[in-house]
Amino acid sequence: MGREPQVSPVNADGPGAIGGTGRRYVIGARGSRLALRQVELVQAALRRLAPDVDIVVREIRTEGDRSSAPLSAIGGLGVFTKAIEDALLAGEIDIAVHSLKDLPTELAPGLAIAAVPPREDVRDALVSRGDATLAELRAGARIGTGAGRRAVQLRRLRPEVEPAEVRGNVDTRIRKVDEGAYDGVLLAMAGLARLSLTARASEIFPVEAILPAVGQGALGVEVRADDAGARALVGGIDDARTRAAVEAERAFLRRLGGGCRLPVAAHACIERGELRLRGMIAAADDAPDATPARLFEGEARGAIGEPEALGTRLADDLLALGARAFVDVAAAANEAGGRPRRPAP
């Protein structure tokens, strides 16, 4: 899967051709080991539905892959997905597989998320030297993270450690710990699980301790909105419970500003027949004190069939409590060409 195939023309049998009728489906994704593993999972699920379907993979290099700069400096959400979406719109691929937390809440016109497969573990984990837990790390320990929402919550759990900017894929970040550049790194358990690296987790944090990123642990399988064949094929691997949860989370982020680069976290799940959503928003590291509080968090419950209303309601609650000041400061900084130092989710 590591080599880009020679892609023959797609849609040869029309938008309704599925499975063994002669149509080839081209899946596009990033070329990292984790991204390709995620493609393998989607491929396997699709082939269980349509064993004769012809699926090939095309690796696509994104802006986030080309740059070593902090994500906040190159645009935050969308830097790992735009090139893939461009290929999808151009007809170069038929299906795109994304880590849903990388996908902006506003899709490009003409695209649709046709499936959100069952979610992996949503929690965050610490990978540290000597397999130390967070409490066991020395004061001043450097903990690598590229996410502002992790840094904010890490400081709350252990103010004596130092969040430090880190880039690179999962393997690279773990190697930097092993080489001594960091005392530990915070990573998504989903990535560790998909790469069979769960044994490297020194500590796994419950969502009550570190609230995950919007869409963490979930995949978004995207197609062209007018491609009935791809929508029908991919729609067969959609998981309604996972979709409801991530739609509530994404509505929460969308209401806060969509591409908001502030530290934002959210997690939804189904409990006792209803949808439960927790959310958090914090001030950027370099934002002036616009309000006495630096972080707002809350919880709301609602009908499973109305996830967007739930996400919007919780966001409105936090904005009304005072988080509006954070959003206004961040928006003004963006208009002036400045950005918070750390990326958001």
Q: Which residues are catalytic?
A: 102
Q: How far apart are CA 100 and CA 36, in angstroms?
A: 15
Q: Which residue has the tokens 């919880």?
A: 299
Rounded distance, CA 138 to CA 102, Å? Answer: 32
The alpha-helical segments, DSSP class H, found in 129-262 are 148-157, 170-178, 189-194, 228-235, 240-256
CB 10 within 8 A of CB 26: yes
Non-local CB neighbours of 244 within 8 Å, separated by 6+ positions? 268, 270, 275, 304, 305, 307
The phi, psi pair for 265, rounded to 5°, reads -140, 150
CB of 66 closer than 8 Å to CB of 30: no
Tokens of 213: 């990123």
Strand order across the 24-29 sheet: 54-59, 24-29, 95-99, 219-224, 111-115
3-state secondary structure of 57: strand
Spell out the alpha helix ranges (H) of 14-81. 33-49, 63-66, 71-74
CA–CA gap between residue 312 and residue 255 (Å, rounded): 6
Across the beta sheet with 124-128, the strand order is 162-164, 142-144, 184-188, 124-128, 203-205
